[in-house]
Structure 1
Amino acid sequence: MELHVRYEGDDDPDKCTARKLARFDLAALHRSPRSVPSGVVLDPHAERALSPADPDDVLVALDCSWETAEAEAFKLDGPHRALPFLVAGNPVSHGTPFRLNTAEAFAAGAYILGHESLAAELMSKFRWGHTFLELNAEPLERYAGCADSAEVVAVQQEYLDLAEE
């Protein structure tokens, strides 16, 4: 599976998870939208959830500040998919639902698409990486076992209902 990042460079470079993944040759950074290959775009504004039914050859993420992560920034080629309910394990957004950094998004996407070992490898590059996988072990396993986006959304709803209680 190839991982590609549309890199905005508006966060602290020392804390940028996309840059760290690129240093380990686990992801390719692209400064121009035109240079990003077509693939499944991880997009929090997408109308469909990522599921095992999606193609698993190329995953694309946008690396930018959450403050500038508007729908317009995600104009990239390929099917756009939202990640389902997961909780951040990183120190900046720890415990916050749907507030994953780029490395966590890639790990979640890889896991859901059946690449559990890649997810573990990605998270192994961060001191807190195991925390993300531990916090989300059950939902990731359940999402990975779904047949399609509709099933992922149904499982996600169970977690959202629990969070409301």
Structure 2
Amino acid sequence: MAASPIDKYVKRKKLDPLEAYVPPVILAQLQIQDLEQFLNVEKPEFLACRSLLRSGPASSLRVNIRAVAQYASDAGDSNTASDDVDRCLRALEELDSLFLRASRKDSNATVELMKSQLGTALTALDSLLQTVPSQVLDRGKAMVEVYRSPSEQDDLSDSSEIQQLQSIL
């Protein structure tokens, strides 16, 4: 692989362990899935959808999926992971644009187009998560399940897994 002559002068930050990136990606995926419920109402609030797309776990999705793709690349799945990241980001950018245009009463920004872009982004995220080793993925899903559980028990709030997830997010 040919490297740029500048590469030897640029310090690259070492990636955190893969386990640090998987739960936020899964949470962002769930957050994007939740957007579909906002679109199923009679008069969707497009600015609220746009805000949801830019907040919480989805706000750091770009960084997190690129890190997951880097790990996939290191494991030999570089083409698939890179394509998934590109597809997901393009779909989310188009979705953001559709939300903005719809909020400005653009008749070409239809809910059907929005749902199509949602589907594209979610499919790409699913495909990217398939590159994650099953043990890491299962641990990430378990952390997300604990994080999203509605239980308000004090003993759960002291859990080391919750504290670890909160520090990641």
Q: Which structure dedicates a bigger proportion of its chain to strand?
A: 1
User: TM-score normalised to the size of structure 2?
Assistant: 0.24
User: TM-score normalised to the size of structure 1?
Assistant: 0.24
Structure 1 or 2, whichever has the larger Rg, is: 2
Q: Which structure would you say has the larger RCO, counting Cα contacts within 8 Å and 6 or more residues apart?
A: 2
